[in-house]
Amino acid sequence: MFTSPLLNNLIEFLPKVRGKYQKDEPMSKHTWFAVGGPAEILYHPADQEDLKYFLQNLPNNIPIYLLGGGSNLLVRDGGILGVVIKLDNKNFKQIEVGDGWIKCGAGLPNIDLKKILLKHELGGLEFLCSIPGVIGGSIKTNAGCFGSEIKDVMLCAEVMNGLGEISTLTPKDFNLSYRNSLFPDDWIILSMTLKTYHEPKAKIQQKLEEQKNYRIANQPYNEKTAGSTFKNPQGLKAWELIQKSGCAELQIGGAKVSEKHNNFLINTGNATAEDIEQLGEEIIARVKEHTSITLEWEIRRLGIRK
Ligand SMILES: Cc1cc2nc3c(=O)[nH]c(=O)nc-3n(C[C@H](O)[C@H](O)[C@H](O)COP(=O)(O)OP(=O)(O)OC[C@H]3O[C@@H](n4cnc5c(N)ncnc54)[C@H](O)[C@@H]3O)c2cc1C
């Protein structure tokens, strides 16, 4: 049970918005790991104006946290205090195609780009279609695979700050680096404009299929996971270090190391967030002992540990 609310009944102190509030919403329903305690409040803004009104009328000191597709998150079992915001209304999933560019709303699932790329014969963004999650999350994590990352293809992005002001920013403003970014905590990404070019449909289709087949062959597919658990240390592979350190068959409670890819952790069905976090910590300790290297979490952990 969720035992430590921020205010007695936070929902009563929140602005009257057009969007939807959900109280004590289990984050296990919103994360790929399918674990995690409740968000005190989950807010689904109706549109940008609604989000602006919310931010401008939010009482001081109420923490907010942006949730994308939940594919890079380990939400702890004690849940999240404050308001979690999810941009999943259709107004945050709009797409606009121009000459050499495509603008996507922050709430658009990356996979939805697929049909647009094929329809308009747009190349260079196939890699993004295979990364779970939504556009906003992909900027925050500088998502990448198959030799490309957001940093290479982003032209600009619209952001709303904590005062509800919107600005258009360049990739430099987000300080994008390997699976990371550095920008003020109160920035909410609203959309991203991506660079693209004409590519015949057949070639796009071929790339998409090759990438999908690669994932099916080399990574856990259709599993409860959050992708690569640890960042690859410079010039090294995290999965190799994990394997060499004797962690390939580790299991704690319902959490285990994937046999297919040792840098993926899997919820086998009944894992708690604690099982997964403890498994990660055990791997870090063993890899450190065997190789003197300290692995760094790529997955973002948040919320209260029970
Ligand atoms: C099977 C699998 C395979 C994966 N493969 C890859 C891969 O090849 N390459 C790769 O890079 N990643 C991979 N991942 C990890 C994950 O998909 C990416 O990190 C993805 O970009 C996360 O996006 P999300 O929308 O799910 O973000 P979330 O996990 O929901 O959140 C990630 C971060 O983004 C922030 N955020 C989300 N939306 C916004 C917004 N609108 N404004 C501001 N901040 C926001 C959140 O607060 C959080 O800090 C994989 C994951 C899985 C499950």
CATH architecture of 10-86: 2-Layer Sandwich (3.30)
Tell me the C-alpha distance between 142 and 179, whole Å. Answer: 5
Atom number, ligand 1, closest to the C-alpha of residue 106 = 41
Q: What is the model's pTM?
A: 0.96
Distances 259 to 54, 73, 221, 232, 284 between C-alpha atoms, Å: 45, 21, 12, 18, 18
Burial 186-215 (b: 16+ CB within 10 A, else e): ebbbbbbbbebeebeeeebeebbeebeeeb
Residue 67 near ligand 1, beta carbon < 6 Å: yes
- The domains of the chain are located at 10-86, 93-218, 238-302
Q: Whose CA is nearest to atom 33 of ligand 1?
A: 137
Beta bridge partners, 204, equal none
Per DSSP (E only), the strands in 17-63 are: 20-26, 38-44
Beta 188-195 vs 154-160: how paired, if at all? antiparallel
Residue 72 near ligand 1, beta carbon < 6 Å: yes
Give the fold, CATH level 3, of 238-302: 3.90.78
Query: Does 10-86 match 93-218 in CATH topology?
Result: no
Q: Which CATH number fits domain 93-218: 3.40.190.10, 3.30.465.10, 3.40.50.2300, 3.40.50.1110?
A: 3.30.465.10
Residue 108 near ligand 1, beta carbon < 6 Å: no
Q: Ligand 1 centroid to 71 CA: how many Å?
A: 5
Instruction: Decide if 142 contacts 172 (C-beta within 8 A).
Output: no
pLDDT of residue 297: 98
pLDDT of residue 8: 73
Atom number, ligand 1, closest to the C-alpha of residue 142 = 11
Distances 60 to 13, 104, 136, 295 between C-alpha atoms, Å: 11, 31, 25, 37
Q: Ligand 1 centroid to 8 CA: how many Å?
A: 32
36 exposure class (CB count in 10 Å sphere: 0-12, 13-18, 19+): buried
Residue 225 near ligand 1, beta carbon < 6 Å: yes
Q: CB within 8 A of 145, min separation 6: which ones? A: 127, 130, 131, 211
Distances 273 to 26, 100, 261, 277, 294 between C-alpha atoms, Å: 12, 43, 20, 6, 22
Residue 104 near ligand 1, beta carbon < 6 Å: no
One digit per residue, the tens of pLDDT, for the chain of length 306 reads 444 455 679 999 999 999 999 999 999 999 999 999 999 999 999 999 999 999 999 999 999 999 999 999 999 999 999 999 999 999 999 999 999 999 999 999 999 999 999 999 999 999 999 999 999 999 999 999 999 999 999 999 999 999 999 999 999 999 999 999 999 999 999 999 999 999 999 999 999 999 999 999 999 999 999 999 999 999 999 999 999 999 999 999 999 999 999 999 999 999 999 999 999 999 999 999 999 999 999 999 999 998
pLDDT of residue 129: 98
Burial 84-103 (b: 16+ CB within 10 A, else e): bbbbbbebbbebeeeeeebb
Atom number, ligand 1, closest to the C-alpha of residue 69 = 26
Residue type, 36: G
Residue 229 near ligand 1, beta carbon < 6 Å: no
Q: Ligand 1 centroid to 85 CA: how many Å?
A: 15
Residue 140 near ligand 1, beta carbon < 6 Å: yes
Annotated active-site positions, please?
179, 228, 298
Q: Whose CA is nearest to atom 50 of ligand 1?
A: 227
